[in-house]
Amino acid sequence: MKKFRKIGEKVHMHPMMAFLLLTGFVVILSGILDVFDASVTYNKVNLKTGGYESTLVTVESLLNLSGIKYIFSNTVANFVSFTPLSMLLIVLIGISIMDKSGFLDTIFFVMTKKMPKTVVTFIFALICIITSLWGDLCFVVLIPLSALLFKYGKRNPKVGIILAFASLSLGFGLNIFINSIDSAMLTATENAAKIISPLYTINSFCFLFIMILAVLIAAGLITYVTEKIIAPKLGKYEDEEEIVKDKDKLTKREMRGLLFAGMGALIYLVIFIYNIIPGVPLGGNLLDYSQNRYIDKLFGYDSFFNSGFVFVITFLFFICGLLYGLGTKSIKNHRDICNFLSHSLDDIGKVIVLLFFASMFISLLKYTNIGTLITAYFANIVMNTGFTRIPLLLLVLFVSIVTTFLCPSFVTRWNILSGSIVPVMMNSGFTAEFSQLVFTVGSSVVYPLTPVMAYFVIYISFLEKYEKDGVGIAKSIKYLIPYCLILLAMWLVLLLLWYVIGIPLGLSSGSVL
């Protein structure tokens, strides 16, 4: 006889149903806003003239004939082109052979056997923050790996998943080295700054000083929240199918497998790295030389990395897993290779269905322009407010936080907001770089909390995989709130400190006046 749940036991709504309800809400809201002719006109910087031009944003209804046609005509296409889907499936192929061959178990053992748990957590958090340089790819690579790192370390895999997602999303756009997103934002910042100062230019290392300090402090705070709040709350992970055997040292086969994998990975990386170095003989073949900044040559829209980096990483994983398996003889023939490659895809069905509902919700919300309209509305508020100095700083931070929930794209929102925020803040004594930093900080501290962020679904999918009773969107967000609050406090202190003292944010960056 089946046991019934105890009365009062909390039942979490399945994420699929939550995304379906959110989609329904967006459809109805778009219809209501369309009835009331909701629209906003805001000032945008014209790149040709260098002045302002009026831009009108209107809501596209999903309840009229064209909206209904869009739903039925584009839902499948939007799902097929949903970036997290293709990235995840390809990356899991590489992770599968590394995991099944035993490579991950061995390499994680070597890396963590003499390290305290707190040190492992700190280093992994730091790696996640720094690798946000990769852009979106870091989510589909490091979230699955974090679960396996904690599982093989005899810890709860859910803690690793939460740690990875919190570190990646809170560190997104906040890095010692700029990525393609930062570069696009710097271009918008520079164009907006020229309204006030026509000769204004911005250096690629303009955030270097504050970011070095912020990255280290953030990794420490994330480690504290993980070890003191999240890990005790989740406790031990108990699943008979996931039991990992203890071992004290590596066998000769394992050491031979690591040697094979290490040599293969080294050769592959040397060839690859040589081809992203500009100006060397026969090198630099993977760069887009139509761009000016190196980061755009590497990660620009038309660059090799933008279209091929997922496979580059997957092939590296394949090399490591294959050579390790051959060295340890865990791979004996071609059938083993084929079986190992599909190992992580065996129970991927629920994840794919969840990705379908998430892609439908995100694409329909984007089609309605609701997030864009709200962002444009707040752009006008910033433009017309009389705030200066610290009140203005806090207003911009608030605007960035609020707009992130419905329009999480950093570049899209900054293209709308920069024309208002940068000139207003410059007139109040802030540098253009400081204006962008305040916006980026506000975006990053709530970036993990919005289901509209495409890679939120990857996070919740892997939590569901390791949670017997399900997680639900509300519970998965609840895990992240302590991280967001403590990072918000950190950034408030740093921003006010830099403002009061007037320290340059980085190289060739002006101080706050």
Among the residues of 451-472, which ranges form H helices? Answer: 456-466
Instruction: Assess if residue 274 is contained within a domain.
Output: no
Position 31 in a domain: yes
pLDDT at res. 2: 43
One pLDDT digit (tens) per residue for the chain, 513 residues: 344 344 334 556 788 888 999 999 999 999 999 999 899 988 887 766 767 788 899 999 999 999 999 999 998 988 888 888 888 888 888 888 888 888 888 888 888 777 888 999 999 999 999 887 777 778 888 998 898 888 888 888 999 999 999 999 998 877 777 777 777 788 888 888 888 888 888 877 888 888 889 999 999 999 999 999 999 988 877 654 455 556 667 788 888 988 999 899 999 888 888 877 877 777 777 777 777 776 667 766 666 766 677 888 888 988 998 898 888 888 888 888 888 887 767 677 788 888 899 999 999 999 999 999 999 999 889 888 878 888 999 999 999 999 999 888 888 899 899 888 999 988 888 888 899 999 999 999 999 999 998 889 889 988 888 877 677 888 899 999 999 999 999 999 999 988 888 888 877 655 555
**490 domain residue, yes or no:** yes
Whether the Cβ atoms of residue 437 and residue 462 lie closer than 8 Å to each other: no
In three-state form (DSSP H/G/I as H, E/B as E, the rest C), the secondary structure along 59-123 is CCCCCCHHHHHHHHHHHHHHHHCCHHHHHHHHHHHHHHHHHHCCHHHHHHHHHHCCCCHHHHHHH
Annotate 210-266 with three-state secondary structure.
HHHHHHHHHHHHHHHHHHHHHHHHHCCCCCHHHCCCCCCCCCHHHHHHHHHHHHHHH
Q: How many domains does the chain have?
A: 1
Strand partners, 55: 42
Residue 150 located in a structural domain? yes
Give the pLDDT of residue 7: 36
- How much is the pLDDT for 512? 57
- Between CA 341 and CA 338 the distance in angstroms is 5
φ/ψ of 53, rounded to 5, equals -135, 140
Range of the domain at 181: 15-81+102-249+347-501
3-state secondary structure of 507: coil
Q: What does the alpha-carbon distance between residue 424 and residue 403 come to, in Å, rounded to a whole number?
A: 18
Give the separation between CA 333 and CA 348, rounded to whole angstroms. 25
> How far is 366 from 27, CA to CA, in rounded Å?
11
Q: Is residue 90 part of a domain?
A: no
Q: Look at residue 466 and give its three-state secondary structure.
A: helix
Residue 452 maps to a domain: yes
CB 421 within 8 A of CB 495: no
Q: Map tokens 């230019």 to a residue.
A: 201
Contact 91, 310 (CB under 8 A): yes
**Model confidence over 302-318: pLDDT tens digits?**
667 666 778 888 889 88
What span, in angstroms and rounded, lies between the C-alpha atoms of 140 and 131? 12
Encode pLDDT of 60-113 as tens digits. Answer: 999 999 999 999 999 898 888 888 888 888 888 888 888 888 888 888 888 877
The length of the chain is 513
| Residue 191 maps to a domain | yes
Chain center to CA of 66: 33
Is the CA virtual torsion 409, 415, 420, 425 positive or negative?
A: positive
Contact 167, 397 (CB under 8 A): no
Spatial CB neighbours of 249, under 8 Å, sequence gap ≥ 6: none
CA 353/CA 360 separation, integer angstroms: 11
**pLDDT tens digits for 234-249?**
887 765 445 555 666 7
Q: Tell how many helices (H) and how many strands (E) occur in the chain.
A: 21, 2
Question: What is the distance between the alpha carbons of residues 74 and 367, in angstroms, rounded to a whole number?
Answer: 11
Kindly state whether residue 285 falls inside one of the protein's structural domains.
Answer: no
